Amino acid sequence: MSFPWAKEYKPSNPFMRYMDEKLPLPRFVYNAIGAGYPVPRNLNYFWNFGVLAGVALVCQLVTGIILAMHFAAESGVAFSSVEHIMRDVNAGWFLRYAHANGASMFFIVVYIHIFRGLFYGSYKPPREMVWHLGLVIFLLMMATAFMGYVLPWGQMSFWGAKVITGLFGAIPLVGTPIQTWLLGGFAPDNAALNRFFSLHYLLPFVILGVIVLHIWALHIPGSSNPTGVEVKDEQDTVPFHPYYTAKDGVGVAAFFLVFATLLFFAPNFLGEPDNYIPANPLATPANIVPEWYFWPFYAILRAFTVDFWFIPAKLLGVLAMFASILLLFFLPWLDTSAVRSGHYRPLFRKFFWYGLGPCIVILGYCGGSHATDGVVLVSQIAAAYYFAHFLIILPIVARIETPKPLPTSITEAVLAKSGASLQPAE
Amino acid sequence: MASLTEDSATADVDQGGVRRRDFINVAAASFAGVGAVSVALPLINQMNPSADVLAEASTEVDLSAIQPGQSIKTMFRKQPLFVRHLTPAEIASAEAVSLSDLRDPQSLEERTKPGKTQWLVTMGVCTHLGCVPLGASSGEVKGEFGGYFCPCHGSSYDTAARIRKGPAPKNLEVPPYEFTSDTVIKVG
């Protein structure tokens, strides 16, 4: 694992030497996030977002475990127990707002992390497994976030549960039995609430496990970098500690600054006011939308309005929504360009910034709006571009594009940037 | 890059052995420490009784129906509360005891309100390990001192609910209470 010049863990303290023999946990940490892990010296701040996602997960775990001490997963009292948390529990408002906005922060950070990977080609060999595990984490996160949103048992919770489980109802023949099985009834009620609570508590720990695999898989080839050029020798790397622990520290401080601003000054900015109305199985909210982080996928779901051959529109929408994520699993083989970084790919770069970027923003905007004819039409165009981008444009660009010349090494790229000539660092 | 760091480090060491980077390290760690503590406080405080629990922390008891020699069990802060209407004989037997014979010396006057010596209000929680002593309901054993008897480890309390025998260290606790009228008390 790692590079031959990685520093070896050599504890001088006799107790730490004893520990190293019996349980080499300090060695493991040293090799993972200490001086024993050589990292490319040219990482920019976009490389902070993996660590930030980890920080966000820990925040969710801590606040979530505490909220579970005060929450009652019973459909008759769940809503009141959340109000009890907000009004009666000491600092309960802080914990619940931290958990709700923490979910948004987690998604913001993870989306930037994913787009970092898309732009810099981090999904390409030898890091496909890292990318795949990351997508698994993303899917688990979506499931966890959805089930967590159901727990307060407000109007959006209830109708969200109904609509999302309704997606499975689109499956031919077995759809309705599957939906009934998922809910433990014909509509969301106590059975659904209890199983969602159980799984909402379980899945974050599964995510934690997959994160361990994600990092394990990453540390075999080592981190990628903004040039996309592989590490060639010791000159190209610095030890993770203190260089990137310090740099990540800056990122963590900035993360908490944004998080605190959201939490203390606009805690309901990203939420839906309708979720402060207790669940009512007899009345659907006028505009039912998911949380912002699901908007692009929701827009794709709603973009299918006509049946195609024998496939009903409802099923097409569901298939497209799932396909929009599953498609990313094939990305390492769709984009066959040998050059990783978008910096050296003029054509790829244009499609990334002027195609994919606006497309996702437009889908997000449409997903959060009323489904009027105009909005649906725009969603259809954007959804079509989304699939075309990955399935048609990327493979063609990879074939016809002439990449800019790559630097021969990371060190050369760094020195060229700072205007120095290529000299040995000593 | 490495040589650059060493150069600046050596330059700083000349200024009395303290590097400027040391200051940054201490400042950053202190800042993070203060942040961690200020987040930890609410995380710990959330386990304290919540506002709704505290709001239920006082209880009113109507004494008018309790005849001399009877007692009732009620609840105060989710724990049993004994209210006992002492007979003149029980009062006399409590007052007959010399304070020096007691493990936790207290007179009946100190344990009741002035002019209301017949009303003995105590927690129904044994001071040994928290069981509910017997003797408040009719037909229950009152122990050899005629007050309360704890079945868990055999502590006996007298008619002023003072510990007389057994492992309990203290008399049954008298909660804070006051008479809001002649026949109503407010506990807590």
Q: What is the pLDDT of residues A354-395, one digit of tens each?
A: 999 999 999 999 999 988 999 999 999 999 999 999 999 999
Q: What is the mean pLDDT of residues B54-59?
A: 86
Q: Does B44 touch chain A (CB under 8 A)?
A: no
Query: Is B85 considered catalytic here?
Result: no
Distance CA A229, CA A82 (A): 51
Strands, sheet with B184-187, edge to edge from the N-terminal-most edge strand: B59-62, B184-187, B177-179
Of the listed ranges A314-318, B8-12, B87-91, the least confidently predicted one is: B8-12
Does B46 contact A88 at a Cβ distance shorter than 8 Å? Answer: no
Give residue A312's pLDDT.
87
Give residue A420's pLDDT.
63
Distance CA B64, CA B66 (A): 6
**pTM for this predicted structure:** 0.88
Nearest in space to A5 (alpha carbons), one of A244, A245, A236: A236
Give residue B40's pLDDT.
95
Give residue B38's pLDDT.
94
Distance CA A67, CA A62 (A): 9
Does B46 contact A249 at a Cβ distance shorter than 8 Å? Answer: no
| Dihedral in degrees, nearest 10, Cα atoms A187, A190, A191, A192 | 60
Q: Percent of chain A beyond pLDDT 70?
A: 98
Helix, coil or strand: residue A17: helix
Q: Does B43 touch chain A (CB under 8 A)?
A: yes
Helix, coil or strand: residue B61: strand
Query: Hey, what are A52's tokens?
Result: 């930030």
Beta strand segments in chain B, E = 59-62, 71-76, 79-85, 119-123, 146-149, 156-158, 163-165, 177-179, 184-187
Does B1 contact A256 at a Cβ distance shorter than 8 Å? Answer: no
Q: What is the mean pLDDT of residues A129-143?
A: 97
Q: Does B37 touch chain A (CB under 8 A)?
A: no
Distance CA B34, CA B28 (A): 10
ipTM above 0.85, yes or no: no
Give residue B3's pLDDT.
45
SS3 content of chain B, % helix, strand, coil (to 5): 30, 20, 50
Distance CA A67, CA A81 (A): 10
Min Cα distance B78 → chain A (Å) is 18
Q: What is the pLDDT of residues A169-195, one digit of tens each?
A: 888 889 899 999 999 999 999 999 999
Helix, coil or strand: residue A226: coil
A41 to chain B: which residues are within 8 Å by CB?
1
Pairwise pLDDT comparison (B4 vs B124), residue with the higher score: B124
Q: What angle do CA B70, B75, B78 make, to 5 degrees?
A: 155
For A169-244, where are the alpha helices, taking DSSP H only? 175-183, 190-219
CA atoms A281, A285, A289, A290: torsion sign: negative
Distance CA A70, CA B50 (A): 10
Partners of residue B84 on adjacent β-strands: B71, B120
Query: Hey, what are A231's tokens?
Result: 């590490």
Distance CA B182, CA A356 (A): 81
Pairwise pLDDT comparison (B133 vs B16), residue with the higher score: B133
Checking if the pLDDT of A33 tops 60, the result is yes
Residues of A at the B interface (Cβ-Cβ below 8 Å)? 41, 62, 66, 69-70, 84, 87-92, 94-95, 238, 249, 256, 425-426
Active-site annotation holder among A7, A70, A84, A219: A219
Give residue A421's pLDDT.
57
Does B50 contact A91 at a Cβ distance shorter than 8 Å? Answer: no
Give residue B2's pLDDT.
44
Distance CA A50, CA A130 (A): 12
Q: What is the pLDDT of residues A280-304, one digit of tens each?
A: 999 999 888 899 999 999 999 999 9
Min Cα distance B160 → chain A (Å) is 38
Distance CA B101, CA B97 (A): 7
Does A87 contact B51 at a Cβ distance shorter than 8 Å? Answer: yes
Nearest CB to A94 within list B28, B42, B52: B42
Checking if the pLDDT of A426 tops 60, the result is no
Checking if the pLDDT of A30 tops 60, the result is yes
B45 to chain A: which residues are within 8 Å by CB?
90-91
Q: What is the pLDDT of residues A193-222, one digit of tens each?
A: 999 999 999 999 999 999 999 999 999 999
Q: What is the mean pLDDT of residues A308-331?
A: 91
Interface test with A, best of B50, B52, B53, B56 (most A CBs within 10 A): B50
Residue of B nearest to A59 (CA): B39
Checking if the pLDDT of B6 tops 70, the result is no
Query: Hey, what are A101's tokens?
Result: 């906005």
Residue with token string 């990482």? A43
What mean pLDDT is reported for chain A?
94
Q: Does B27 touch chain A (CB under 8 A)?
A: no
Give residue A118's pLDDT.
97
B48 to chain A: which residues are within 8 Å by CB?
90
Query: Hey, what are A225's tokens?
Result: 């970098």
CA atoms A318, A321, A327, A329: torsion sign: negative
A3 in Cβ contact with A410 (< 8 Å): no
Give B181's pLDDT tier (boundaries 50, 70, 90). very high
Give residue A311's pLDDT.
84
Residue of A nearest to B24 (CA): A246
What are the phi and psi torsion angles at B112 (to 5°)?
-130, 175
Active-site annotation holder among A291, A324, A341, A343: A291
A224 in Cβ contact with A403 (< 8 Å): no
Q: What is the mean pLDDT of residues B99-121?
A: 93
Q: What is the mean pLDDT of residues A223-247?
A: 94
| Dihedral in degrees, nearest 10, Cα atoms B75, B78, B80, B86 | -40
What mean pLDDT is reported for chain B?
89
Pairwise pLDDT comparison (A204 vs B143), residue with the higher score: A204
Query: Is A224 considered catalytic here?
Result: no
Active-site annotation holder among B20, B103, B116, B153: B153
What are the phi and psi torsion angles at A99 (to 5°)?
-70, -45
Residue with token string 């309100």? B113
Give residue A310's pLDDT.
82
Interface test with B, best of A89, A99, A235, A414 (most B CBs within 10 A): A89
Q: Does B47 touch chain A (CB under 8 A)?
A: yes
Give B58's pLDDT tier (boundaries 50, 70, 90). confident
A91 to chain B: which residues are within 8 Å by CB?
42-43, 45-46
Checking if the pLDDT of A347 tops 70, the result is yes
Q: Give burial (CB, 10 Å; 0-12/13-18/19+) of A281.
A: exposed
Distance CA A35, CA A19 (A): 18
Checking if the pLDDT of B77 tops 80, the result is yes
Min Cα distance B128 → chain A (Å) is 30
